[in-house]
Structure 1
Amino acid sequence: DHGGTGRDGWIVDYIHIFGQGQRYLNRRNWAGTGHSLQQVTGHDHYNADLKPIYGFNGRFGYRRNTPALRRSTSVFGEVTHFPLF
């Protein structure tokens, strides 16, 4: 008649539906607060306007110990078709 209960039983379902946390979320959502552009539009902006990441290991993603190694991409050849320099 009610579609069953969750894994932990009806009392836990009741707390999830009518508990303090859900009441807080309901009041917040009814007031129209807590909705950023990303929450409203979903994942549409996930890969928009990406910036290059230059981490601790340098531009190529792994540590170069000597200046001669830092000037070249790899002594074993390239694994990408995209320009690196």
Structure 2
Amino acid sequence: MTATINTSLLESKMILRGYKTRKSFAKAIDISEHSVSNMLNGIYNPSFIVMNKIFATLELTPQEGTEIFFSNYLRKTKVIEKAQ
């Protein structure tokens, strides 16, 4: 499985919230520094529990959360529905 989170956006939100190192962010969300590094290096996607911790810790808006965790799952083109 290829990691599909927007790591650039996640790292920018971490820095904006004052987490200058992966170690400090890992401590804040109560996971290992190794796990944070693997996630940010695209090795794996975070679990639902970790996503919730990140969402709460970084005080993300729903839009930011979607852009970080789910934007790669969304269609790139608009779907046009036909009237029945």
Structure 1 length-normalised TM: 0.20
State which structure, 1 or 2, has the greater radius of gyration over its C-alpha atoms.
1
Which structure has the highest helix share of the two?
A: 2
Q: RCO higher in 1 or 2 (8 Å CA, sep ≥ 6)?
A: 2
Q: TM-score, normalised by structure 2?
A: 0.20
